[in-house]
Structure 1
């Protein structure tokens, strides 16, 4: 695989940035990626969703007193809003000129998990997502402070139930185990005492706030320090611990490059991260520029987003149906805003079970034949049909050089799509696109499409 194609996939979701990386060089490409702005406005589909504490209280009252039909209708609208939110995010992934911000937002999304099934307030889920996007390349400590004090997080990890005299340790535990230090780098007493410092941290208007009547203001010991610490001070203490940089560098390496990063690599980059005072941008720059020079293709299984968005980009599918993409990746075990548990998606081998592989092959057949990801029953709503009819025939077009012979065309596709090919692969490809192939004949596009379909169903295409 061409190195620029490989890193276009790793730093985004398709091969479309490969030419930019080739022209600008990786360092310049990264700088452009870091400089991207993002839209902070609230999407229109969230207009009627509860946003303030007062609106949330009204919603709770509605559920107490509303009729069964009214409750069902409200729940239906909120589910539709949740689907719109997923489609909104996938659209950003597809249309961003430099998609690394969205790739990094998705990384943080799987690190600081807060699902809409538990949170239930779509606007809070949107806020949570925007915090990750805003801080995607910022400071790890700052991001940790901000995300832990989001309404979504205090609800997801039950800190609204954490009160003086009746402590809930969930947020205190995950702050240490999953967000910062990792197992083995804290004590159970740190968790218990941390819960005291988090007691009373509950819903606020734009972010979580302490509610005095539920606070525990007695002094406690936290990692050897004594005081009446609150969340910001607790995070400061956590970031003084010697093993703080390694959990996150391991996860970043796993997200972008290696399903099983070597411990020495984790510590090498972790030490640099600590030296940079936990600034994410210099860490990413160092990791990507140094790993770019190595032969690392094939070290990671593509996640469902990388798989489907690469496929759609290669086929030049215009105006893809983002809701169908969201449903497909959900069927592959990557439901946006709904990870299976607080640990997030496992990644690695879980992305390529026999069922997942079969689903991917079926989808490749559909798309290569110009069919959409699903074929549901058509709706009666004419406007909805015209907007994005799931049953519509897709226009697919594969880019290939019609001045080349069969071996050159095969090599071109291999360079874009496969981390590795061997003699057996080559033999199979040449059976499909034979030595006497004429690129100027009427059926030449169909012949190359058959070859492409075969290639994307190989095990090698599943790796990045």
Structure 2
């Protein structure tokens, strides 16, 4: 696979950035990605949703006075707004000039999991997403503090039920096990005392706040240190521990580069991360530039986002309906804002079960033929006539793919292979030449159809699923 194309897929979701990487060089491309601008304006679809605890209380009170049918309509609208939130984010992934930020937001989204089915309030999910976006390349420790004190996380991990004398350990446990240091590096007493330190941290208007009647102001011993610790203190103490950097460097390597990174690599980058005071930009720069030089390919299975956005990019479906993409992701087990549990998506081999592979092949068939994804199979929610309907449908359309109209069958095959596959063997080459025969004329009216048929064949190869 062409090196710039490979890294465009790794640092984004398609091959769109390949030319930028070639033109700028990797380091300049990374710098532009780190400092790229992003929209901070509240999306219009969230303007009339509850944002403060008072507004939420008022909404809940109003629902009590409604008949069941009216109540159901309001609840359905909130569910639909969650769908709009997914589409809003997918549009950013598709259109941002430097999509590494959104790729990193998605990484953090799967690290600091906070799912819609439990949080329910879309504005809190949006706040959580914006914390990840604003801090995507910032400081890991500081971002952890902000996430712990977000309404979405406090609600998702049940800290609203954590009170002095009636402790709930969920947030305290996951802060250690999944968010920072990992299993085997803390004790059950650390979890219990961490929960005491988090007792009373409850929902607030712009983020979680301590409620004096529910907080525990006694001394707690945490990793051998005793004091009246609160949320920020816990994070500070955790980040002093020896093994703090390795869980996150392993996860970053797995997200971007290797499904099975070596322990030596995890430790080396982890040690550098600690020396960099847990600043994310220098870690990513070191990691990406060093691994770029190694020229390794085929070490990672494409996740569903990369798979579908690469397809729509190659077929030049620039205006493809984001709701269809969201539905495909759900079908593939990568439902945005809705991981199955706090551990997040497993990745790796989970992205290529026999069922997932079949779904990918069917999707390629549909897109290459210009058809839309079936609503029933893809799980798109249908609204009744009194509710908002999906914003657009994708009619059957002509699809196009880029190829050299002055070339021949072998040069076009070579170009597609170089763009899409990390490896081509003699049998694959023979199959491709049988599809695009030696007398192929790229200037004929049906030439685009023939090249798309070749592209469809390539997308079904096991090698295409790897980067």
CA–CA separation in structure 1 for the residues paired with 2:189 and 2:383? 57
Question: 1:264-316: CA deviations, max 9, x gaps?
Answer: 00000000000000000000000111101113211111111000000000000
Question: 1:104-156: CA deviations, max 9, x gaps?
Answer: 00000000000010000000000000000000000000000001100000000
* Higher deviation after alignment, 420-429 or 243-252: 420-429
1:379 Cα deviation (Å)?
9.0
Q: Which residue of 2 aligns with 1:270?
A: 270
Q: Secondary structure at the match of 2:97?
A: coil
Residues 220-239 of structure 1 aligned to structure 2 (within 5 Å): 220-239=220-239
Q: Which residue of 2 aligns with 1:413?
A: 416
Q: Secondary structure at the match of 1:212?
A: coil
CA–CA separation in structure 2 for the residues paired with 1:56 and 1:394? 44
Q: Which residue of 1 aligns with 2:138?
A: 138
CA–CA separation in structure 2 for the residues paired with 1:406 and 1:385? 45
Q: CA RMSD in A?
A: 1.7
Alignment check: 8 A CA contact 1:193 1:221 kept: yes
Pairing 1:388–2:386 present: no
Residues 150-161 of structure 1 aligned to structure 2 (within 5 Å): 150-161=150-161
Pairing 1:315–2:315 present: yes
Stretches of structure 2 lacking an aligned partner (at least 5 in a row): none
CA–CA separation in structure 1 for the residues paired with 2:280 and 2:384? 49
Residues 311-460 of structure 1 aligned to structure 2 (within 5 Å): 311-374=311-374, 388-390=392-394, 392-460=395-463
Q: Secondary structure at the match of 1:214?
A: coil
Q: Which residue of 2 aligns with 1:240?
A: 240
1:58 Cα deviation (Å)?
1.4
CA–CA separation in structure 2 for the residues paired with 1:172 and 1:412? 52
* Higher deviation after alignment, 284-293 or 371-380: 371-380
CA–CA separation in structure 1 for the residues paired with 2:375 and 2:214? 52
Q: Secondary structure at the match of 1:23?
A: helix
Q: Which residue of 2 aligns with 1:165?
A: 165
CA–CA separation in structure 2 for the residues paired with 1:385 and 1:394? 22
1:380 Cα deviation (Å)?
9.6
CA–CA separation in structure 2 for the residues paired with 1:380 and 1:177? 43
CA–CA separation in structure 1 for the residues paired with 2:363 and 2:181? 40
Residues 203 and 380 of structure 1: CA distance in aligned 2, closer, same or farther (over 3 Å): closer
Q: Which residue of 1 aligns with 2:108?
A: 108
* Higher deviation after alignment, 401-410 or 10-19: 401-410
* Higher deviation after alignment, 62-71 or 290-299: 62-71
1:61 Cα deviation (Å)?
1.9
CA–CA separation in structure 2 for the residues paired with 1:70 and 1:386? 21
CA–CA separation in structure 2 for the residues paired with 1:353 and 1:135? 34
Q: Which residue of 1 aligns with 2:189?
A: 189
Q: Secondary structure at the match of 1:226?
A: strand
CA–CA separation in structure 2 for the residues paired with 1:379 and 1:85? 16
Alignment check: 8 A CA contact 1:317 1:394 kept: no
1:419 Cα deviation (Å)?
1.2
1:318 Cα deviation (Å)?
2.6
Q: Which residue of 2 aligns with 1:280?
A: 280
Stretches of structure 1 lacking an aligned partner (at least 5 in a row): none
Question: 1:247-277: CA deviations, max 9, x gaps?
Answer: 0000000000000110000000000000000
1:374 Cα deviation (Å)?
2.6
Q: Secondary structure at the match of 2:294?
A: coil
Residues 243-258 of structure 1 aligned to structure 2 (within 5 Å): 243-258=243-258
CA–CA separation in structure 2 for the residues paired with 1:53 and 1:442? 61
Residues 61-72 of structure 1 aligned to structure 2 (within 5 Å): 61-72=61-72
Residues 71 and 115 of structure 1: CA distance in aligned 2, closer, same or farther (over 3 Å): same
1:395 Cα deviation (Å)?
3.5
Q: Secondary structure at the match of 1:388?
A: coil
Residues 400 and 54 of structure 1: CA distance in aligned 2, closer, same or farther (over 3 Å): same
The normalised TM-score by structure 1 is 0.97
Residues 211 and 3 of structure 1: CA distance in aligned 2, closer, same or farther (over 3 Å): same
Question: 1:196-220: CA deviations, max 9, x gaps?
Answer: 1000000011000000000111101
Q: Secondary structure at the match of 1:416?
A: helix
1:439 Cα deviation (Å)?
1.5
1:387 Cα deviation (Å)?
5.2
CA–CA separation in structure 1 for the residues paired with 2:131 and 2:328? 26
Q: Which residue of 1 aligns with 2:27?
A: 27
CA–CA separation in structure 2 for the residues paired with 1:238 and 1:246? 13
Alignment check: 8 A CA contact 1:317 1:395 kept: no
* Higher deviation after alignment, 154-163 or 55-64: 55-64
1:373 Cα deviation (Å)?
2.1
- List structure 1 segments (4+ residues) > 6 angstroms apart after TM superposition: 376-381
CA–CA separation in structure 2 for the residues paired with 1:317 and 1:385? 22
CA–CA separation in structure 1 for the residues paired with 2:236 and 2:432? 57
